[in-house]
Amino acid sequence: MQKIVILTADAGFGHRSAANAIYDGLVNHAQIPLSVEIINLLDAPGVPKAFSNTQSEYDKIVKSIPKIYEFGYTQSDRTVPANLGKIGFSAVLYRAYDEMIQTRNPDVIISTYPFYQAPAQTWSYINEETFKEQNVSDVKAEIEKELPGVFNMFTTKRRPHIPYITVTTDFISLHQLWMSKMPDIYTVANEDTKKIAVEYGIDPNRVVITGIPVKPIFSLETRSKPEIRESLGWELNRTTVIAIGSKRVSKLVENLCIIDHSGFDFQLIMIAGGDDKLYREMRKTEWHHPVQIYNFTSQMPEMLLASDVAITKSGGLITSECLAAGLPMLLIDVLPGQEEGNANLVTTNRAGILTGSPTELLEAFFHLMTNDQAQLKRMSLNAKKIGRPRASLDVCDIILYYLKKQNDAQNKPQS
């Protein structure tokens, strides 16, 4: 049985969710038996706690000091800081990466997290016999510049190349930490991110536009909105507003209260995203419309497909899921940096509206709910145009292609 390892991390929701979506596609929809494992190298033995703790601290940083987060992200995306970061990640994560290879012996590796590019590149050049054949021989100079003498430390017997697929999870920008000439394929969200990768020197033939992976159900669901609503216990034929919160979404209930008093006919679905404080606030508020309140749900795809408009922030994961569902977005509490780019993508394509206050939200909601909801319907069509519900399945097709190549090479008769 062929083995696949998906590398990810838990800083935010997007990287892990992309990995889960690919896992779902491979395990449940591939036509061949596979061994698929998701691994977080930041939690591996020997990795300094400072690296592992960046995951749990991520939410606190982006919520409490967003401007500092934006500054750090922007400054680290410059050439010198990015190269210094690569040196650090190679040094700190090389052993964990090597241990993963030795214990799992994967046939293909997928990464949804940028920190792993540097150690993977270093490992590949040190250990793989076919690395120079991949038209990336200049990488050795890059590695030696970053880690002087590193190649003198190893006397490993070289092994056949392990295909490495990098799945990026950003809509508008690609941080330089993603960039390496080692991966066989990059998958990206759209033409904009492909252009960025090519400008960084990545071979355009190795950059494939798939979209950001979302659960396969977004493309495989055949039930109508009323049918999905019935399965969820919602009202069948009432306009459905879904509000998605988390610890990183502030003043959600305040925003929802103002549309709750708008006088329009709708049902309100609220998800706290596992934030117990927000969940309690939702529960204790007196609502004037039919409501369903969830602290957390494993049925987010079904809920988005059953809804008519989403009120949320412009995080990468929820944005890709809403667009895959053809769901217009009313955006609130957008953080500086990447979320601003995601919001720009949505608004430029007229798939959503950015609001800066409860009053602006009410005004936008008014326009969507009047005139026979004509604007809401147009926005839904626009969301469908840029959404990629098949993204995870398209990534899986690429993975299966490389598995077949590996299998064919292993079974090739020796001359």
Q: Residue 282 burial (CB < 10 Å; 0-12/13-18/19+)?
A: buried
What CATH number is associated with residue 302? 3.40.50.2000
pLDDT of residue 57: 52
- The verdict on 308 and 207 lying in the same domain is no
Chain mean position to CA 248: 16
- The verdict on 232 and 379 lying in the same domain is yes
- The verdict on 188 and 172 lying in the same domain is yes
- The verdict on 193 and 240 lying in the same domain is no
The overall average pLDDT reported for the chain is 86
Q: What is the gyration radius of the CA atoms in the chain, in angstroms? A: 23
- The verdict on 130 and 171 lying in the same domain is yes
pLDDT tens readout for residues 267-308: 999 999 999 999 999 999 999 999 999 999 999 999 999 999
Comparing 37-41, 52-56, 103-107, 305-309, the range with the smallest average pLDDT is: 52-56
pLDDT of residue 250: 79
Residue 80: which pLDDT band, with cuts at 50, 70 and 90? very low
Residue 75: which pLDDT band, with cuts at 50, 70 and 90? very low
Neighbour tally for 124: CB within 10 Å: 24
Tell me the pTM. 0.84
- The verdict on 207 and 231 lying in the same domain is no
Residue 119: which pLDDT band, with cuts at 50, 70 and 90? confident
Query: What is the edge-to-edge ordering of all strands in the sheet holding 240-244?
Result: 291-294, 267-271, 240-244, 309-312, 329-331, 352-354
pLDDT of residue 133: 47
pLDDT cut 70: percent of the chain above it? 82
Question: Are the C-beta atoms of 291 and 267 separated by less than 8 Å?
Answer: yes
- The verdict on 170 and 27 lying in the same domain is yes
- The verdict on 103 and 243 lying in the same domain is no
What domain range is 280 assigned to?
221-386
Please report the beta strands in 53-121, taking only residues with DSSP state E, as ranges in sequence order: 108-111
Question: Are the C-beta atoms of 182 and 126 separated by less than 8 Å?
Answer: no
Question: Are the C-beta atoms of 127 and 360 separated by less than 8 Å?
Answer: no
- The verdict on 204 and 240 lying in the same domain is no
pLDDT tens readout for residues 186-201: 999 999 999 999 998 9
Residue 128: which pLDDT band, with cuts at 50, 70 and 90? confident
- The verdict on 372 and 405 lying in the same domain is no
Domains of the chain: total: 2
- The verdict on 235 and 128 lying in the same domain is no
pLDDT tens readout for residues 352-367: 999 999 999 999 999 9
Residue 170: which pLDDT band, with cuts at 50, 70 and 90? confident
Residue 285 within any structural domain of the chain: yes
- The verdict on 152 and 256 lying in the same domain is no
Residue 332 within any structural domain of the chain: yes
**Residue with the two structure tokens 């030795």:** 102
What's the average model confidence in pLDDT over 156-177? 83
Residue 415 within any structural domain of the chain: no
Q: Is the pLDDT of residue 241 over 90?
A: yes
Concatenating the DSSP letter of every residue in 355-391 gives -SSHHHHHHHHHHHHSGGGHHHHHHHHHHHHH--TTH
